[in-house]
Amino acid sequence: MLRIIRHLLPLFFVQFFTWLALFALWIYATPVITRYIFNTTDAESAAFGDGITWVGICFAFYSTLAAFLVFMIPKLLRYASRERLHAFALLAGGIGLFLICCIKNKYGLFLSFAFIGIAWSSISNIPYSIISETAPENKLGSYFAIFNFSVVIPQVTAAFLLSFITSHFFRGETIYTILLGACSMFFAGLLMFFIKQKSLREVS
């Protein structure tokens, strides 16, 4: 067990900051977009309803884009390693989250969520591919079972930490929580540059 954790620890750190950023997006995208782009905090207003609808459209857009981009990953792996490709994808996700804080036009959000779609296509595939390539075949199930905690732990952390930070440090300004998510995604991308498949194999 400890050997597996030691193997996965570098990816755990990357996953923690990656998923913390994603939960910041999923929890706070609606209040940010309705307030700063649709200019309302009134949940009973038509503008607020339009904002919620637009958030759904943006989420559907990045998910659909990611589904198509998945088919590009094998071709891109001819030019870069899985680790390097994932690092660049996470940096793209950080740019996407940052742009949410800057864009004031609802159509401009498609640019932001395009970058997020690039990140999501990699997040949902490459970390698991890395484990498949580096973990011993007879322990692959154990590796994936433990690796699932790299999603659960950030989820639990986000549930408590992001709310506390937003209310106590950002005074309810949720746009800063999205910005924090952008910084978290950027940091995950930078960490990924230090992970190499060779080092993971040596641990296993």
Angstrom distance (rounded) from CA 46 to CA 172: 23
Q: What is the pLDDT of residue 3?
A: 65
Q: What is the pLDDT of residue 139?
A: 77
Residues 6+ apart with CB under 8 A from 85: 73, 76, 77, 122, 126
pTM value is 0.91
Q: List Cα–Cα distances, 93 to 79, 96, 99, 145, in angstroms.
A: 20, 5, 10, 26
Q: Structural domain boundaries of the chain?
A: 2-203
Each residue's pLDDT, cut to its tens digit, for the chain (204 residues) gives: 556 666 778 889 999 999 999 999 999 999 999 999 999 999 999 999 999 999 999 999 999 999 999 999 999 999 999 999 999 999 999 999 999 999 999 999 999 999 999 999 999 999 988 888 877 777 788 888 888 888 899 989 988 899 999 999 999 999 999 999 999 999 999 999 988 755 444 444
Angstrom distance (rounded) from CA 28 to CA 72: 30
Name the helix (H) or strand (E) containing 62.
helix 46-69
Q: What number does CATH give the domain 2-203? A: 1.20.1250.20
